[in-house]
Amino acid sequence: MGYYFILIGGSGAKTLEALTHLCAAGTMPSRGDLNILAVDPDSGNGNLERSSTTLNNFAPVQSLGVGNDTPLFKTKISIIEPFPWKPVEVDMTLDDLIGYHLQGNNPLGSLYEVLYTQKERATRLNEGYPSIGAAVLAKKSIPREFLDKILGDANRGNEVKIFLAGSIFGGTGAAGIPTISRLLRNELSDKQEKVSIGGVLILPYFSFSAAQGGQDLFARSENFHTNTKAALKYYAQKDNVFNAMYFVGDSQRANVKNFSVGASSQRNDAELYAALAALDFFAQPVTGTHEFKCISRSDSDNFSWVDFPTLTEFVNEQKSDFELQKRFVQFARFIFAYIRFVKPVLKDLLDGRRSEYQYPWFVDYFSGAGIKNTDIKNFEDYAEAFVLWLKQLETLERREVSLIKSSMFAANPAQILHPDEFKSCDGVKTDLTLHEVWYRLSESVSFDSSVSGFGKFLRRLYDACKVRKE
């Protein structure tokens, strides 16, 4: 199975951030690679910058030897270069891109004048604008490396699942989702039986008072609703190239303060659902059907674990379902346990400034193991990114979120504020205290040869964070 994820624009970038953490937590359906193509003409996109950082932190972590028989880091994320793919050069206008001024006085130029306003034509393309973006993308081709990878998978007989994510009420995502999906469908027209295309259309879930700095062409939140309906109507009237379309939005639109083009939005909930939509799509078999999917929650004001779907995975080609909560919470505990009692002492232990005998897990997994400081550093950077993301997920404006207890931890830097909440951090009472984890780390365990180095310790810590009895 070949998995391909195309993120388009700011909301797409935030979906990638969520998907990266879900991949790290082992929620993908199988161990196949997840290939990422980022499409964003805006080099100042704060969301993409943050997602890139998360991805870059995770990239080295996924190669640590945690073993092939664990969900932890089971999916390898592969970035397609260029990352991101910028269809246009910075500060170029649509007139520049299509060479309008070179056309002279011909009917094509007149048609162009009828279809676009002067303002649109003079807008910098990296500011994002659906109809402009569509023109840009129509003139460009999908990066060859990405297509070759897909074709390679399909030619080897693998099923290929391509998922696109972006918002449809803003700029880049709105332009890119239908355009790129159609370009892909055209390029892969002779691989229909092997290729399935899905997408999540993120509908309004935040608002802002006005774009600052006089950027009047940028979509304003008061028009989000109108633009959403217009875009959906457009989709309804076009040939549906998607095998599955997911819809995610929110009736409570949190106000994003100090919004500016390229700023990083502080909400993660819709994008978490968007990432879960990708997981759902990746778990479905390739069919020629066209499906539309949306999801509900149990409380109009709150989020809890019952609002998230059961996931599917394939272990040894056997399909099985699992609860997101269990796997995600185990992963979260694994990160928090590391932050609580490994990170503060590890550097000193490695440098010999602290006595090893007080830390049997260090003796068992670090002493003489030749563990590189860079591996530790990469993992700790990733852990920081995860906690920061989780913290923002837990502190939604006007929403009570009951996933991982927000009171237990702080972010930036990541730390546990109330260690006693660790055992019931997801609201479920367990005996799994931090002390218990520490204790388990000292138990003797054997791993196969795929488990090695720093990965071996992480694997052990991850396993120790599994709830054995509730």
Partner 1 sequence: MPEVFPMLPKIDRDEQKFLADRSGVWKKDTSSDFLTSLVNSLETGGAIADIGSIDSIPDVWARPLLFKMALFDIGAAREFVQGLHDKVVGEWRAILAMLALKNLKQINLRADAVDLKKYRAEKNEFARVFTELIPRESSNGDADAWLTDIYVIFYDGLPLAMTSPVTLVASAADYPSTFNGGLSLPWSSDGKMLADPIKNLSHNELAALSVWLKNLRENLQRDSANVTGETQFIANSLLKCLNAYQLDVEKSLGGAAANFNLVPSNLKLHNGTARYLNESIQGVAASISDSFVRIIANPARNNKKLILVSPSAVREFAQQENVPPARFVVWQGVSADNVTENSLRGGRSVINQMNLGDTEYRRPEDFFYDQLAVLNLDAPGDFFPGALKVSGYDAISNYNLNIILPIRRELLELFSSEEIMQRLSFTAESDNDISLHFEFPLSGANGTGADFRFTKKYSGDDLIYLQQEIPVIEIWPNIQRAGWSQYYLYYENTQAQSAANAEILLDEMYYVEPLTYGRALENFPAQGLKNRITARLDNFPEALSFNYKKAGSAAVSEIGFILLKKPELKSRQSGLNWKIGVDFGTSSTMLYFFRRQKNSQAAGF
Task: Give, as ranges, the residues between 406 and 425 that touch partner 1 (CB under 8 A).
Answer: none
- Within 146-241, strands assigned E span 160-167, 195-202, 206-207
Q: How many residues bind partner 1 (CB under 8 A)?
A: 86
Shortest approach of partner 1 to residue 157 CB, angstroms? Answer: 27
Rounded CA-CA distance 9/41 in Å is 8
Shortest approach of partner 1 to residue 245 CB, angstroms? Answer: 8
Question: Nearer to partner 1 by C-beta: 220 or 391?
Answer: 220
CB atoms within 10 A of CB 140: 17
Shortest approach of partner 1 to residue 2 CB, angstroms? Answer: 22
Return the half-sphere exposure (C-beta side, CA atoms, 13 A cut-off) of residue 317. 0
Shortest approach of partner 1 to residue 419 CB, angstroms? Answer: 30
Q: Residues 6 or more apart from 392 whose CB is under 8 A from it? A: 266, 267, 268, 411
Rounded CA-CA distance 250/399 in Å is 11
Q: Is 222 in the site for partner 1 (CB under 8 A)?
A: yes
Binding residues for partner 1 restricted to 298-317, rule: CB under 8 A: 298-300, 306-310
AA letter at 422: F
Backbone angles phi, psi at 431, to 5 degrees: -95, 5
Among 54, 62, 75, 179, binds partner 1 (CB under 8 A): 179
Question: Nearer to partner 1 by C-beta: 31 or 293?
Answer: 293
Question: Nearer to partner 1 by C-beta: 208 or 359?
Answer: 208
Backbone angles phi, psi at 249, to 5 degrees: -160, -165
The 120-149 site mask, x for binding partner 1 (CB under 8 A), equals x--------xxx-xxx--xx----------
Shortest approach of partner 1 to residue 114 CB, angstroms? Answer: 4
Rounded CA-CA distance 150/191 in Å is 10
Binding residues for partner 1 restricted to 43-102, rule: CB under 8 A: 98-100
Among 73, 205, 386, 454, binds partner 1 (CB under 8 A): 205
CB 8 within 8 A of CB 48: no
Q: H-helix or E-strand containing 328?
A: helix 324-337
CB 127 within 8 A of CB 177: no
Rounded CA-CA distance 167/49 in Å is 17
Binding residues for partner 1 restricted to 236-295, rule: CB under 8 A: 236-237, 239, 246-251, 253, 270, 273, 277, 280, 289-295
DSSP label at residue 85: B
Question: Nearer to partner 1 by C-beta: 2 or 178?
Answer: 178
Question: Nearer to partner 1 by C-beta: 215 or 450?
Answer: 215
Among 28, 77, 174, 390, binds partner 1 (CB under 8 A): 174
The 389-408 site mask, x for binding partner 1 (CB under 8 A), equals --------------------
